[in-house]
Amino acid sequence: MSLRAITFDLDDTLWDNRGVMERTETGHYAWLDEALADWLARRGASGLGRFSDRYPQAAYLAARRRLAEQHPLRRGDFSWLRERALVELLMAFGLTRSAAWLWASAAMNRFHALRLDVSPHPEVEPLLEGLGRRYRLGAITNGNLALHRLALHRHFEVAIAAGEIQAPKPDARPFLAALARLETAPSRALHVGDSWKEDVMPALRLGMRAVWIAPEAPPAGSLPEGVHPLRHVRELPALLERLATR
Ligand SMILES: [Mg+2]
């Protein structure tokens, strides 16, 4: 059966994400701490002390975990969890509710700006350009990156932030939603991602084929049928050619 659509995971599939996440995590919190200290000093309210002294980064993480447990449906909606956690901490620090919301939303703007600073592998742009001429393309991410603000967004007919629809991968729903919008049956679709649990397994269960981006992957023969391991996404066009001639 010939292939009609390809869906892509984003983080650690089209770019290396680790450095970006670290910079974003510490960057937006440090920005909040600085800007808030300035604002308090200008208002003569420095008596509250320094926000990060009372609520270091670990307290922020703990607050997110607590909220995720209290709101299981929201567990994959990282932007929601972050903003609420910041509001909680800022109110506990001593800000009014409205000031806490203002500062939390300003910190989240900073977060999203830093989060967008990803560097897609240099091969990705021409890869998507070429594939877009032959296949319908979609993106399915559990991340909270504002994909519509990246140039490569234009290659995807559909982009699904699975956490924000409260169905993070490996839930089948973001895959089904993408396939519906791409008007493609699972048997004619391929999903490309780096996570065995969140990309490969759910795609296989739906009857899609899967490309597993994994530098250390075992050889294809030792994997279930329909899984094609690649060391890097740049190897995808060659794989598609091999599959087409089978
Ligand atoms: Mg990934």
The yes-or-no verdict on residue 220 having pLDDT over 80 is no
The yes-or-no verdict on residue 100 having pLDDT over 70 is yes
For 207-215, what is the mean pLDDT?
Answer: 96
Ligand 1 center to 67 CA (angstroms): 23
Ligand 1 center to 17 CA (angstroms): 8
Q: How many CB atoms lie within 10 A of CB 210?
A: 24
The yes-or-no verdict on residue 206 having pLDDT over 80 is yes
Kindly indicate the confidence band of residue 127, based on its pLDDT and cuts at 50, 70 and 90: very high
Going by C-alpha positions, the residue among 129, 154, 125 that lies closest to residue 139 is 154
For 90-117, what is the mean pLDDT?
Answer: 96
For 184-212, what is the mean pLDDT?
Answer: 97
Ligand 1 center to 115 CA (angstroms): 14
Ligand 1 center to 121 CA (angstroms): 14
The string of pLDDT tens digits covering residues 17-70 is 989 999 999 999 999 999 999 999 999 988 899 999 999 999 999 999 999 999
The yes-or-no verdict on residue 82 having pLDDT over 80 is yes
Ligand 1 center to 208 CA (angstroms): 18
Ligand 1 center to 75 CA (angstroms): 17
The domains located in the chain, with CATH, are: 5-16+119-244 (3.40.50.1000), 18-115 (1.20.120.1600)
User: Which pair of structure tokens corresponds to residue 233?
Assistant: 């996404």
**43-47, 70-74, 169-173, 229-233 — which is least confidently predicted?**
43-47
Ligand 1 center to 144 CA (angstroms): 12
For 187-211, what is the mean pLDDT?
Answer: 97
Ligand 1 center to 150 CA (angstroms): 17
CA distance 208 to 226: 8
Give Cα separations from 27 to 6, 21, 61, 94, 201 (angstroms).
Answer: 34, 9, 14, 23, 34
The string of pLDDT tens digits covering residues 139-168 is 999 988 888 889 999 999 999 999 888 899
Ligand 1 center to 141 CA (angstroms): 7
Ligand 1 center to 102 CA (angstroms): 31
Going by C-alpha positions, the residue among 113, 102, 112 that lies closest to residue 35 is 102
CB within 8 A of 30, min separation 6: which ones? Answer: 52
Which is it for the CA torsion 131, 132, 137, 140, positive or negative?
Answer: positive
Ligand 1 center to 196 CA (angstroms): 10
Ligand 1 center to 7 CA (angstroms): 12
Q: Which percentage of the chain shows pLDDT scores above 70?
A: 99
The yes-or-no verdict on residue 219 having pLDDT over 80 is no
CA distance 120 to 116: 11
For the entire predicted model, the pTM comes to 0.87
Query: What strands lie across the sheet with 136-141, from one edge to the other?
Result: 158-161, 136-141, 5-8, 189-193, 209-213, 227-230
Q: Are 207 and 224 in contact (CB under 8 A)?
A: no
The yes-or-no verdict on residue 88 having pLDDT over 70 is yes
Kindly indicate the confidence band of residue 1, based on its pLDDT and cuts at 50, 70 and 90: low
Ligand 1 center to 111 CA (angstroms): 19
The radius of gyration of the chain from alpha carbons, rounded to an integer in Å, stands at 21
Give residue 43's pLDDT. Answer: 92
Ligand 1 center to 187 CA (angstroms): 22
